[in-house]
Amino acid sequence: MRTIFGLMGGLVLIGAAFTLTSIQAFSQIPAAPAQATQPIPARPPAAAPAAVKPEELPIRATLTALVRAFAAGDVQNLVALFSDNAIVVDTTGTEARGKQAIADLYGSSFQQTPGLKLEAELNEIQFLAPNVARAEGRSRISSPNGDASEYTKFSTLLTGANGKWSVAEIREYPLPPEDVPTGERLKELEWMVGNWVDESGENKVSSNVRWADNKSYLIRTYQVDIKNEKTSSGTMFIGWDPQNGQIKSWIFDSEGGHGEGLWTRTDENTWVVKSSGVLRDGRPTSATQIHTLVNKDAAKTSSIDRIIGGQLAPDILDIVMVRKPPKPDAVTPQPAASPR
């Protein structure tokens, strides 16, 4: 059994301890900066959302309270938002009926899988009758380090009177993979976009990262000049591999070698890439790269366990790349202050 909007699924199998963060979902009340999340973009791109109708506000308030109670692990306040005979049905068709069953469901979930991260988007509210409404949207549940995600659609039935609404039913449905934009899959690496450089010590590395059309891939071009190694350059494509269900990269260097790597996010700011490839002369290569985001304008990379043609090669440790500032002509001039 899953929880609100697909909250367990395959993540239970991972067995890691997760950290729960609250989400921006249904309310127009802005979240605190530390809790803000980006809604899942629609596909195809939708027009600007219409203004919220006044009659929708109490419904949005109920759904917002529901998400906040879940974020706090507050079973009592969460279940209080359901009607007495409410039903929760997950993507497998398993259901919990009635407040006690729902309380048991969520209480068990909080104990077994603490710390899930939820993002959700409310797409539509329909009034089926003056006191009955249906809210529909989609959501993503993931570990806090983003190494696993599950996407679902949800349909929530609410009943209300005198401006107070209760949840009567939540049903979840698998979101087809083709309905999840590739750019959303790669969003955790969006920080890479830009121009980067490292000129510390005897190393010189420059890199440019940009989005391909429709955010289908990240394209990284680079040049590396490291002591005792031949200067090299190349192009890397970073995308979503639907067969592995994982971020994958493909790299082609200036000498004719090529390789690929599988990306795993190990914590909020660290990605480990297991890579393998072949040099122009046919020798196989493999390595483990560790990319750590130090801050929004600095990232550290190490390459360890390097094997070239069956021989162990020295590790390359702690290359720090910094984001290059925009060119002076790219900076928008500010108007001069008015004389006093």
CATH code of residue 246? 2.40.128.20
Instruction: Find tokens 């090299």 and name the residue.
Output: 232
User: In the predicted model, is pLDDT for residue 330 greater than 70?
Assistant: no
Higher pLDDT, 248 or 21: 248
pLDDT at 220 over 90: yes
Residue 2 lies in a domain: no
233 in a structural domain: yes
| pLDDT over threshold 90, residue 46 | no
pLDDT for 178 equals 63
Do 213 and 172 lie in one domain? The reply is no
Answer for the pair 270, 290: CB distance below 8 angstroms, yes or no. yes
- Is 336 domain-assigned? no
The predicted structure's pLDDT at residue 82: 95
Q: Is residue 334 one of the residues assigned to a domain?
A: no
- Assess whether 129 and 219 both reside in one domain: no
Least confident of 11-15, 178-182, 201-205, 209-213: 11-15
- 153 and 300 share one domain: no
Q: Is the pLDDT of residue 305 over 90?
A: yes
Q: Within a 10 A sphere around the Cβ of 159, how many other Cβ atoms?
A: 17
Q: Would 4 be classed as within a structural domain?
A: no
- Whether 329 is in a domain gets the answer no
Cβ-count burial 80-94 (b if 16+ within 10 Å, e if not):
ebbbeebbbbbbeee
If residue 252 lies in a helix (H) or strand (E), which one and from where to where?
strand 246-253
Cβ-based neighbours of 185, under 8 Å, separated by 6 or more: 240, 247
Q: What is the mean pLDDT of residues 103-119?
A: 77
- Pair 98, 191 in one domain: no
Sheet holding 164-174, edge to edge: 95-97, 82-89, 164-174, 149-161, 132-142, 117-129
- Residue 109 is part of which domain span? 9-180
Is the model more confident about 145 or about 327? 327
The answer on 301 and 202 residing in a single domain is: yes
Phi/psi of residue 130, each to 5°? -55, -30
Domains in the chain: how many in total?
Answer: 2
Residues 173 and 37 in one domain: yes
Q: Do 130 and 52 share a structural domain? A: yes
pLDDT for 93: 82
pLDDT at position 192, please?
Answer: 92
The pair of structure tokens assigned to 147 is 């190494």
Max distance between CA atoms of the chain, in angstroms, equals 76
Same domain assignment for residues 147 and 267: no
Q: What is the tens place of the pLDDT at every residue in 150-200?
A: 778 889 999 998 788 999 999 988 776 666 677 777 888 989 999 999 877
Is 65 among the domain residues?
yes
> Which segment of 88-92, 185-189, 313-317, 331-335 scores lowest on mean pLDDT?
331-335
In percent, how much of the chain has pLDDT > 70?
A: 74
Q: Which of 180, 198, 231 is the last residue of a domain?
A: 180
Question: To the nearest whole number, what is the mean pLDDT of the chain?
Answer: 77
Q: Is the pLDDT of residue 221 over 60?
A: yes
Q: Do 175 and 189 sit in the same domain of this protein?
A: no
3-state secondary structure of 209: strand
67 and 164 in a single domain? The answer is yes
| Greater model confidence, 158 or 111 | 158
pLDDT value of position 22: 27
Pair (100, 190) in one structural domain: no
The yes-or-no verdict on residue 17 having pLDDT over 50 is no
- Residue 105 sits in a domain whose CATH number is 3.10.450.50
Domain assignment present for residue 26? The answer is yes
pLDDT tens digits, one per residue of 52-83: 888 899 999 998 888 888 777 888 999 999 99
| Same domain for 88 and 142 | yes
